[in-house]
Structure 1
Amino acid sequence: MIRYTLRCDKGHDFEGWFRSSDAFDTTHAAGHVACTQCGSVAVRKSLMAPAVPAQSGAEPRISPMEAALQALRREVEANSDYVGLKFADEARAIHEGRAPGRAIHGEARPEEARKLLEEGVPVAPLPFIPRQKAN
């Protein structure tokens, strides 16, 4: 498969996937490549940068969203106590006054989190990918 960045005569940019360069040429010549925004078939290939894998040892590039999630994780971890798999029990104990009030983070099964919310315990899921566990 080959991915082309395409542009119509109205200036709209979009991507198209084709089996090969010849498949693009044949499909385009038949008038079957149309702009995804306006439907124009006056489409041409746009300038593209090849997808080159990062050099070994080079830092991988991350999206702005991934960078924001990493910053959020650092903030949470720096300003709360990690309670691990005891999160549901500890959150409930804090809410009921049986444990000192403080910010915590940890893991809970979806049904545990749902129960906490039903009980009025203020919790929120965080969109973090679990860290890799090492031996």
Structure 2
Amino acid sequence: MIKYALDCENKHKFESWFQSAEAFDKLVRSGLLCCSVCGVNKVSKAIMTPNIGIKNNSKSNLPKTNNELPLSTPSTKTEKAIKQFRKHIEKNSENVGPNFASEARKMHIGDVPERSIYGESTIKEAKELIDDGISVVPLPFIPSKKTN
């Protein structure tokens, strides 16, 4: 196992463990490695400080710091606001998943009652909804069920 410090194209910093350097490279090439904060798949290795082990019976001269937060803890005001927004959307709306475009269209024409929904659509589907006068807005986060 190997641990890497990583950066995404949006400058989020995080760490992750990989089976090997080759496993990391394979995930990057296949586009399967995503930022744990924003979900983009443009991720690269960051500069790391060496992690040199010490004997179990010797004391470290390094000061202990508690400034490292879990990745689930937002590190900026914007990340905190997005996390609160996501919680609000997930609590007060129905996730219709990949059926978003068809559900939005059904509500628009009156086949089903209007309700707050969110989900996934292709860019083409979103453009078609907008062209038909159906308001859609991209959300600034990936759903909790799709995050690690």
Q: Smaller-chain TM-score range?
A: 0.5 to 0.7
Pick from 107, 128, 136 the counterpart of residue 115 of structure 1.
Answer: 128
> Per the alignment, do residues 53 and 111 of structure 1 end up closer, same or farther by CA in structure 2, a change over 3 Å counting?
farther
CA distance in 2, matches of 1:123, 1:58: 30
CA distance in 2, matches of 1:84, 1:124: 15
**How far did 1:129 drift?**
3.0
Amino acid at match of 1:75: H
Matched, 1:70 2:83: yes
> Per the alignment, do residues 63 and 94 of structure 1 end up closer, same or farther by CA in structure 2, a change over 3 Å counting?
same
**How far did 1:118 drift?**
0.5
In structure 2, the partner of 1:126 is 139
Count of residue pairs the alignment pairs up: 84
Which of these two proteins has the greater Rg computed from alpha carbons?
1
Amino acid at match of 1:123: V
CA distance in 1, matches of 2:129, 2:106: 11
**How far did 1:122 drift?**
1.4
Q: Over aligned residues, Cα RMSD in angstroms? A: 2.9
> Per the alignment, do residues 66 and 95 of structure 1 end up closer, same or farther by CA in structure 2, a change over 3 Å counting?
same
Structure 1 runs not aligned, ≥5 long: 1-51
**How far did 1:86 drift?**
0.1
- Equivalent residues of 1:86, 1:106 under 8 A apart: yes
In structure 2, the partner of 1:84 is 97
**How far did 1:54 drift?**
5.6
CA distance in 1, matches of 2:69, 2:83: 23
**How far did 1:130 drift?**
4.6
Q: Percent identity?
A: 39
> Per the alignment, do residues 104 and 57 of structure 1 end up closer, same or farther by CA in structure 2, a change over 3 Å counting?
closer
**How far did 1:62 drift?**
1.3
CA distance in 2, matches of 1:58, 1:111: 33
CA distance in 2, matches of 1:59, 1:93: 36
**How far did 1:59 drift?**
6.5
